[in-house]
Amino acid sequence: MVAMDGKKVTVTYTDEFGIWQHLEMDFRQHLPLRNLRWQSAKGPVRNIPNLGVELKRFITETTERSHMLPETLPYLNLYFVNCDDNETYRQIVKNQIRDWLNIAESRRNQEWLIVYVTKQENFRNPARYFNMKGTVFDKIKADFNITKRDRCVQLRLSENETEDYEAWQELISKIKEGILYSFDQYVKQYEEDIRKSDSQRSMIGWNYCTFFILKEGLALTFEIMNIFEDALVQYDELEASFFQVLKDRALAWFGSFGATDPNDDSANILDVKKKQYRDLIMQNTIPEFDFRCYLFARQCQLLGRLHKPVEICRRAQIFISTFSRAIKEHQANVGEYFLESWIFSSCMSVVNECEELAPLTSMDSPNTIAFNAAKGELLDLARKQLDKIGIYYNHLPASLPFTTSLSDTIPTSPNEARKKFDITNKELEEAINSQNDFDVLYLSLTNRALRAYEGSARLRSVLRLQGDVAALHFHRKQYEDAVQVMEDIPWRYGEQGWTVVEINLLFKFAACQKELGQNRSYVGSCLSLLKNYSLLTNEEIAFYADEVKKLCGVLEKGEEINRQFKPIFAISVSSIVDDIGDEDGPNLSVELTNNLSTSFTFDQLAIRLVSGQSEEIWFGVCKEEIKPGLNSYKLYSDNSASGNYFVENVRMSIGKVTFTHNFLNESKKKSFRINEHPSVLRAQIIPPCEIHIGESQYFLVRIFTGLSHVDEGILALEATSDGLSFPKSDKYHSITKTVIDEKISEEKVSEQDLEVFEDGKIRIPSSQSNQLIEFQVPYDCNWGAIEHKVKISVEYKSKGKLRVFTSVDTINVWLPISVNELNIFRDDCLFLKMDITLQGTVPVRILKTDLVPSKVYDVADNPSLTLPSLNLFGKQHASYVYKLTRSKDYHGEEKSAGTQIHFVVVYRSLQDEIEKYVEHTLNTILKSRNLFQHSQFLIENAKEHLLKSVDYVSYGMTDVLDLGELDIAQCESLFTTHGAAKEALVDVVKEFWKTSNQISEEEIMLISNDLKSSISFPVNVPSSKVLNTVELIISKSHDFIVGEPCHCRLIVRHSSYWNHVSTDAKDTFEFFYDVHVDFDNWLLAGHKKLCFTSKVGETKEFPITLVPLKTGHLLVPFVRVASLNSHIFSETVYLNNAEQILVRPRTQSATFFIEQQHRIHSIHSGAGFGGPGHHHNEGMENVEF
């Protein structure tokens, strides 16, 4: 960096013994001095990492002018002595030192040090120990160390590196101490002089230049000692005091303003040696221009020593900007374009110097960004001067963006300006004389600024400079280069809010694209210009609108252009009409505002509505004119899908240009309710009324044609639930019926097979109005699923128009009841107990149960044929017992006959019957008020919201429907999207509530009685190959006595009655019986478990003996008979099951001898005087119990 050579502390030496030439090399190896610490009297300790020292020979003559040149004054004077003879020292050397010391002490604030140099071998000479007079060094210390400070040091040179190092360290330590002491004295002197001068500021004769010299002397003193922060503080304080002087207009100590010397406009602003600034200051003749440049340069010089290039750039920007105003005030003296040349040269000087300094500075990422930003601003400031000079010398047009840098007044001609001032900057001179050189300089400087701004993430500045480069290319008619630069700039200008600059650049951009024949890009630029119509004239609007209309239709395929509606157009959806009409669907009212003063014609205007179930409906209209101002249109849709819809987006195409707008991004979303009219075609998928457990499951698909005559159609089913799928099928068998007054006739109109395409879609046959097409669709799903969602779509033609119906249906596959079974075998019949349990919380009404026999079994007794219907509630179960017998028509000829029977439960959910009543009642009210198109929406929300307070348990127990209080607020919130029909629908709900609250079950049954569902549960009756009838015959006829044995016979009879396959009578089977004895109650004598063989029809008898151990009613032990072969299934009928036997206590007498003096109860307690179990024979009498 210019003028960055560091100042050093001056140390003088005196060598009258010729030893300096031997010491100099070693002395300089210990320089610079390191790790100095100075304690300031007014601040903390200053650490000086290193300190440069300049060694000079001591000069007896002096030209010192009272600390006016502090950097030239010595801080320390050294005197080297090499004398071993005491006599020589006394006669010669002592006087020499005395003369030198007198001169050194006469100089203020300078320290001195006497260095006695000797060799180590001389120091170790034994003779010196016998020298009673002492050494020369001792005499020097005695003669000259007359103060407390030790100013004498001995340097013992040695061949040993360690000893030599220690000797030098002592000397260096003394040198540091002397320099710091001298420095401290200088600082104190300067501070005292400055204090005195500042206190006289208000006195007549006070001179700012003198004050400056004193203050700068202190700053230079700090700088010499490498304490740059304190030095910079002095210059900052000088700057502040100068501005105060400037404010007071007390500039009598300065000469003229200046800036009239050669090269003042182009010299390096950081060069402090280009003029004799200090001499001019001391002579009170320095111009203000030179003074301020010098003060700024000295600040930057110290910042450079502190390695702060960022701060230099920031201060330079502030200084150049503020000082430019002062120069401009003296423009008549300095000449035209001196200011521009000076700003350009100053900015480039600072940037170039800082770029050299930056690599020497360790900067982290934030500092690097800050440096690039500050550097970019200086380069940008220099580039703006080229704008001014370029316009003046006709190298640039006097138009945006170049005119943004111009001042209010511009010279009338270059010749007049040259009379006053000639620019001396070589680069600017070349740029003025040659347009090509000007462009090279302009582009190179702009690119440097661009790189700096990019490195600091200054996006807006980058865009601005890129726009200037593009404008230059456009002015030079380099259209391709201009387009390449401007590719993204205009749009990014708009994002930054620079509308005026964007417009100016777009004019050029569009002109370039038109010249190059880039039609698509040209149309895009025209649209961008029209977007800012408020800044265009009517002629410009008409021109660019005509260009769009002319070119948008001739663009090639793939050159489509998408733009937002705003701000050229504004659109809003005002209302939606869903009443049935000629169009067989809803229509949308739209208001479109054209903000331009010219008309357009769109090819198509379409609006998309979406629902929460991923449904969408498009409304559209074609070939309409868009006049200036407000326009109204009606948009129609061929789709039909009821639900709540949000207006999502709108698309309007004019040729290959498409305008779009997303309504969902607005703060207030527009929502509408679209209702399918019950009289138009609709389709639904529902669970079947009859469910057969264990068989393939299916859904029932219904298509109601309504008032539409269907020419042909395609139905598509899409499973939206996880795990649900529809197996591929070749065809589906359908049945067509007629619907009259919402009732389905029992007569079939037709039956036919529906064709299924490869993609799974189903062909719908031609159908008349008011017909219902039904067919079953099998499905597969994950086990345990409760409900499924299926999207059903129907595309059909009616009256030559293609229509679309779409709906998403939720199908509940939850079974409300479950069944458990219990089998009880007997010799000639089987009792089957069926328990029905409610699985949910909503009660069901069991209307009928039936047990369907099989080929093997007949139902001998069916109790459900005579039982009335019953209500099944939670935590309850209904039991039905059936008696089964072998079918008389079955003789066991078939080897594998079906034994499975089916238990059929016909039921109706109380919720279903209430909802059907609600649906019928609401439809009746809606029809009476011509609001039938709202039927589906009203019924769905009534089920979901209005009936949620219904207590179905209470209804099932009291047979009265209690709807509770109507929540009017909730009711009104349901119809917020219905516009004008809102109040009418609320009145419908109120009327329904009034007529239906507290209605009886009999009235509900008038509507819901035909609502039935059935579930067929398969029941597998176990087939027993052998039926074992076990009976325990007790031989004793009188009462059982505890402890007495009882002989019994175990009779086992074998039968094959319940084996539906014929059994050979000769077949033998191995069995075993097992008597389950409770040994707390019985003792068993005989075989508890015994194996035996038997044939069908044979009776076996086994003896066993039972001994009761307790009194009371005891259960007869249970006996189980089972086959030893696990492949033979057998059942056991135990005839004594749950049989009890009364066991009485044994009656007997006993003789006891009791002492007369004791109570009888002591016998029972066993607690006589003799203790437990001790009896006395004396004095006893015979007692019988």
* Co-location of 670 and 710 in the same domain: no
* Rounded-to-integer distance, Cα 601 and Cα 593, Å: 13
Mean pLDDT of the 429-447 span = 90
Q: What share of residues in the chain are helix, strand, coil (percent, to 5)?
A: 35, 30, 35
Within a domain: 830: no
Q: Which residues on adjacent β-strands are paired with residue 618?
A: 608
Per the CB < 8 A criterion, the answer to whether 920 and 875 are in contact is: no
Amino acid at 421: F
Tokens 């280069």: give the residue: 481
Mean pLDDT of the 521-534 span = 85
Q: Check residue 488 and give its pLDDT.
A: 66
Mean pLDDT of the 835-857 span = 88
Amino acid at 1172: P
Residue 1153 pLDDT > 80: no
Question: The domain spanning residue 1109 has which CATH number?
Answer: 2.60.40.10
| Structure confidence by residue, pLDDT tens digits, 347-386 | 999 999 998 888 877 777 888 889 999 999 999 999 999 9
Within a domain: 817: no
Within a domain: 556: no
Task: Pick the closest to residue 686 from 717, 709, 657 (CA basis).
Answer: 717
Name the band, by pLDDT with cuts 50, 70 and 90, for residue 529.
Answer: confident
**What six digits make up the tokens of 508?**
């050029």
* Rounded-to-integer distance, Cα 251 and Cα 978, Å: 83
Q: Which of 482-496, 879-893, 975-989 has the lowest mean pLDDT?
A: 482-496
Edge-first strand order for the sheet with 762-764 is: 639-640, 801-812, 787-798, 712-719, 762-764
Cis ω on the peptide bond leading into residue 309 (within 30° of 0)?
A: no
Alpha helices, H only, 1029-1166: 1161-1165
The separation between the first and the last C-alpha atoms of the chain, rounded to the nearest angstrom, is 137
Q: Check residue 253 and give its pLDDT.
A: 62
DSSP assignment of 888-928 equals TT--S-SSS---EEEEEEEEEEHHHHHHHHHHHHHHHHHHH
Last residue of a domain, one of 199, 224, 246: 199
Residue 317, CA atoms < 13 Å, CB-side half-sphere: 16
Within a domain: 488: yes
| Structure confidence by residue, pLDDT tens digits, 1108-1125 | 999 999 999 999 998 887
Sequence-separated contacts (24+) of 455-463 with Cβ below 8 Å: 455/368, 455/369, 455/372, 455/376, 456/369, 456/370, 456/372, 456/373, 456/376, 457/369, 458/373, 458/376, 459/492, 459/496, 460/496, 460/498, 461/376, 461/380, 463/489, 463/492, 463/493, 463/496, 463/498
Tokens 């298509």: give the residue: 703
Within a domain: 822: no
Task: Count H helices and E strands in the chain, helices first.
Answer: 30, 50
Q: Check residue 499 and give its pLDDT.
A: 66
Q: Check residue 682 and give its pLDDT.
A: 85
* Co-location of 278 and 388 in the same domain: yes
Edge-first strand order for the sheet with 877-886 is: 817-825, 830-838, 877-886, 857-861
Mean pLDDT of the 661-675 span = 78
Name the band, by pLDDT with cuts 50, 70 and 90, for residue 498.
Answer: low
DSSP assignment of 174-187 equals HHHHHHHHHHHHHH
SS3 state of residue 958: helix
| Structure confidence by residue, pLDDT tens digits, 301-311 | 999 999 999 99
| Structure confidence by residue, pLDDT tens digits, 974-1014 | 777 776 778 888 898 888 888 888 899 888 888 888 889 99
pTM for the model stands at: 0.57
* Co-location of 646 and 757 in the same domain: no
Q: Check residue 707 and give its pLDDT.
A: 80
**Strand (E) or helix (H) holding 524:** helix 519-531
Alpha helices, H only, 306-364: 309-329, 331-334, 338-357
Per the CB < 8 A criterion, the answer to whether 342 and 264 are in contact is: yes
Residue 1096 pLDDT > 50: yes
Within a domain: 135: yes
**What six digits make up the tokens of 166?**
């220690």
SS3 state of residue 239: helix
Number of residues in the chain: 1185
Within a domain: 588: yes
Question: The domain spanning residue 717 has which CATH number?
Answer: 2.60.40.740
663: left (phi over 0), alpha (psi -120 to 50) or beta: alpha
Q: Check residue 1063 and give its pLDDT.
A: 56
Per the CB < 8 A criterion, the answer to whether 563 and 602 are in contact is: no
Residue 1164 pLDDT > 50: no
Last residue of a domain, one of 551, 570, 592: 551
Measured at the CA of 238, the angle between CA 233 and CA 240, to 5 degrees, comes to 95
* Rounded-to-integer distance, Cα 337 and Cα 818, Å: 102
Name the band, by pLDDT with cuts 50, 70 and 90, for residue 685.
Answer: very high
* Rounded-to-integer distance, Cα 769 and Cα 112, Å: 126
Per the CB < 8 A criterion, the answer to whether 1045 and 1105 are in contact is: yes
Question: The domain spanning residue 602 has which CATH number?
Answer: 2.60.40
Mean pLDDT of the 214-240 span = 91
Higher-pLDDT residue of 414 and 826 is: 826
* Co-location of 511 and 421 in the same domain: yes
Residue 65 pLDDT > 80: no
* Co-location of 652 and 697 in the same domain: no
Within a domain: 140: yes
Per the CB < 8 A criterion, the answer to whether 391 and 397 are in contact is: yes
Higher-pLDDT residue of 936 and 961 is: 961
* Co-location of 865 and 929 in the same domain: yes
| Structure confidence by residue, pLDDT tens digits, 847-884 | 989 888 887 778 887 765 556 788 999 888 899 898 88
* Rounded-to-integer distance, Cα 647 and Cα 619, Å: 11
* Co-location of 114 and 161 in the same domain: yes
Question: Structurally, how many domains does the chain consist of?
Answer: 7
Residue 130 pLDDT > 80: no
Mean pLDDT of the 562-577 span = 84
Neighbours of 322 (CB within 10 A): 11
Give the chain's mean pLDDT. 83
Name the band, by pLDDT with cuts 50, 70 and 90, for residue 1184.
Answer: very low
Neighbours of 897 (CB within 10 A): 15
* Co-location of 1039 and 1015 in the same domain: no
Name the band, by pLDDT with cuts 50, 70 and 90, for residue 1178.
Answer: very low
**What six digits make up the tokens of 348?**
């480039």
Name the band, by pLDDT with cuts 50, 70 and 90, for residue 1181.
Answer: very low
Percent of the chain with pLDDT over 90: 26
Q: Check residue 1064 and give its pLDDT.
A: 59
Q: Check residue 1061 and give its pLDDT.
A: 59
Residue 583 pLDDT > 70: no
Last residue of a domain, one of 650, 674, 698: 674
* Rounded-to-integer distance, Cα 267 and Cα 1099, Å: 137
Q: Check residue 109 and give its pLDDT.
A: 87
* Rounded-to-integer distance, Cα 1162 and Cα 1177, Å: 16
Inter-axis angle of helices 499-516 and 459-475, nearest 10: 40
Mean pLDDT of the 258-286 span = 86
Residue 110 pLDDT > 70: yes
- Tell how far CA 129 is from the center of its chain: 89
Q: Check residue 1014 and give its pLDDT.
A: 92
Judged on CB neighbours under 10 Å (0-12, 13-18, 19+), 228 is: buried
Residue 233 pLDDT > 90: yes
Q: Check residue 135 and give its pLDDT.
A: 86
Residue 1169 pLDDT > 60: no
Sequence-separated contacts (24+) of 444-452 with Cβ below 8 Å: 445/379, 445/382, 445/383, 445/386, 446/383, 448/351, 448/379, 449/376, 449/379, 449/380, 449/383, 452/372, 452/373, 452/375, 452/376, 452/379
Paired sense of beta strands 561-564 and 657-662, if any = parallel
Q: Which residues on adjacent β-strands are paired with residue 651?
A: 606, 660
Residue 1083 pLDDT > 70: yes
Q: Check residue 129 and give its pLDDT.
A: 44
Residue 125 pLDDT > 70: no
Q: Which of 484-488, 1010-1014, 1071-1075 has the lowest mean pLDDT?
A: 484-488
* Co-location of 1083 and 1069 in the same domain: yes
Neighbours of 36 (CB within 10 A): 20
* Rounded-to-integer distance, Cα 1072 and Cα 1123, Å: 6
Tokens 């009212």: give the residue: 589
* Co-location of 610 and 707 in the same domain: no
Inter-axis angle of helices 365-392 and 426-433, nearest 10: 40
| 562 Cβ contact list (under 8 Å, min separation 6) | 658, 659, 660
Task: Pick the closest to residue 1061 from 868, 927, 1182, 898 (CA basis).
Answer: 898
Q: Check residue 122 and give its pLDDT.
A: 53
| 1149 Cβ contact list (under 8 Å, min separation 6) | 1184, 1185
Per the CB < 8 A criterion, the answer to whether 936 and 675 are in contact is: yes
Domain of residue 663 covers: 561-674
Question: The domain spanning residue 56 has which CATH number?
Answer: 3.40.50
Per the CB < 8 A criterion, the answer to whether 357 and 309 are in contact is: yes
Paired sense of beta strands 111-119 and 74-81, if any = parallel
| 721 Cβ contact list (under 8 Å, min separation 6) | 781, 785, 787, 788, 789, 790
Residue 830 pLDDT > 60: yes
* Co-location of 191 and 103 in the same domain: yes
* Co-location of 953 and 1001 in the same domain: yes
